[in-house]
């Protein structure tokens, strides 16, 4: 299968590399060409423009930064017009559900199929092929994409166009709240004189056990906030949660609080740290810097 990957940054690069290693013919494009050229060693071809990248593709995977970037690349840089009728576009960016539905309708008018398939699992999941992939769109289009998606992780069809993005926002809501809960719990224990590392060890395996406690809690204890999933991206996702909640007429008080917390963390200079650095913002509030 001829596959194109648009966007070869933190997530797109390991995704593209896995597809190369699986034997697919791959064309890649990235706004910063040097990030795409890293894939030459794995047999990929680097295109000069996104339109050139997709002209012979059977399947196009997009891993771009946000809805505005997806809109610009698909409809502002000639991609939609360059796609062959029957091509399947799998958009793995995390964007608003209404944006995904709009993109799907406009591509369908050109004879191009669309699946929104955002992911969870971060760069580690992308490297290991263990991503959780939440897909929205027509069942037959999901079935077409599934053999490729299975190389990247566990894919689940959750409903019509936009439903994949709804599932991703639900995921990000849970991640945000759990990061906040773990950070606040460890700081609470530390403020009272307990050893944070030992507290994390003690409650691991109990009812508070979670992947966030293990991975992000470990980063908090070690003060390692090297970016794996950026604070700025987490804020973007929480803003998308709130925008979508307003569209649905859905009251979301927990999401409202965490959107504010991540916004304040970004305002205080933490935008380029890992999202587990919400710990730093909560520590600052408690005089524990």
Residues annotated as catalytic (active site), given as ranges:
168
Q: What is the rounded distance in angstroms from the CA atom of residue 253 to the CA atom of residue 265?
A: 19
To the nearest 10°, report the CA torsion of 95, 109, 159, 171: -10
Rounded to whole angstroms, how far apart are CA atoms 189 and 73? 47
Q: Alpha helices of the chain — where are they, by DSSP H?
A: 12-21, 33-37, 50-54, 67-71, 79-82, 97-108, 122-128, 139-149, 163-191, 196-203, 211-222, 231-248, 253-265, 278-285
Residues 6+ apart with CB under 8 A from 142: 115, 135, 155, 157
């Amino acid at each position: 299968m001829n596959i194109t990957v648009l966007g070869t940054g933190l997530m797109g690069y390991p995704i593209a590399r896995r597809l190369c290693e699986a034997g697919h013919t791959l064309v890649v494009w990235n706004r910063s060409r040097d990030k795409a050229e890293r894939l030459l060693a794995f047999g990929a071809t680097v295109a000069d423009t996104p339109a050139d990248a997709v002209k012979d593709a059977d399947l196009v995977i997009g891993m771009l930064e946000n809805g505005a970037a997806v809109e610009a690349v698909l409809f502002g840089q000639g991609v939609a017009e360059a796609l062959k009728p029957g091509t399947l576009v799998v958009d793995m960016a995390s964007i608003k559900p209404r944006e995904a539905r709009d993109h799907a309708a406009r591509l369908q008018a050109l004879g191009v199929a669309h699946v929104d398939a955002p992911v969870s699992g971060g760069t580690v999941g992308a490297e290991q092929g263990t991503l959780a992939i939440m897909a929205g769109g027509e069942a037959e289009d999901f079935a077409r994409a599934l053999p490729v998606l299975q190389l990247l992780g566990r894919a689940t069809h959750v409903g019509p166009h936009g439903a994949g993005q709804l599932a991703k926002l639900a995921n990000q809501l849970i991640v945000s709240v759990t990061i906040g809960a773990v950070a606040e719990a460890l700081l609470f224990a530390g403020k009272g004189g307990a050893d944070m590392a030992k507290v994390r060890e003690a409650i691991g395996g109990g009812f508070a056990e979670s992947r966030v406690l293990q991975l992000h809690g470990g980063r908090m204890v070690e003060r390692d906030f090297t970016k794996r999933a950026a604070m700025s991206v987490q804020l973007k996702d929480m803003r998308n949660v709130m925008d979508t909640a307003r569209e649905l007429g859905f009251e979301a008080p927990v999401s409202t609080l965490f959107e504010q917390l991540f916004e304040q963390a970004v305002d205080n200079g933490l935008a380029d740290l890992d999202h587990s650095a919400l710990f730093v913002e909560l520590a600052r509030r408690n005089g524990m810097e």
